[in-house]
Structure 1
């Protein structure tokens, strides 16, 4: 959601390009975050970042 993206923006930016999954606490919740390059082998093209809440919603 828009609200989650705003609160998670710093974490999402940190994970892009890190090459590993991250479990973190942000926006008063625990999250699992993964980033994958849009073009395999060319991370300069950007990343697809997925954040999944680890607490009941």
Structure 2
């Protein structure tokens, strides 16, 4: 999404919040990306999640 204004950024944040709550998954979860790319191991992922 293009967010050139504070209002547009607020709208984007609200959309992410609604989608994440609705499907129960995080959008662009950096920890998940790091785990899938093998930058962190399962133990580190669990530690971060707790």
TM over 0.5, yes or no?
no
Q: Which protein has the larger Cα radius of gyration, Structure 1 or Structure 2? A: 2
RCO (CA 8 Å, sep 6+): is it higher in 1 or 2? Answer: 1
* Greater helix share, structure number: 2
TM-score by length of 1: 0.29
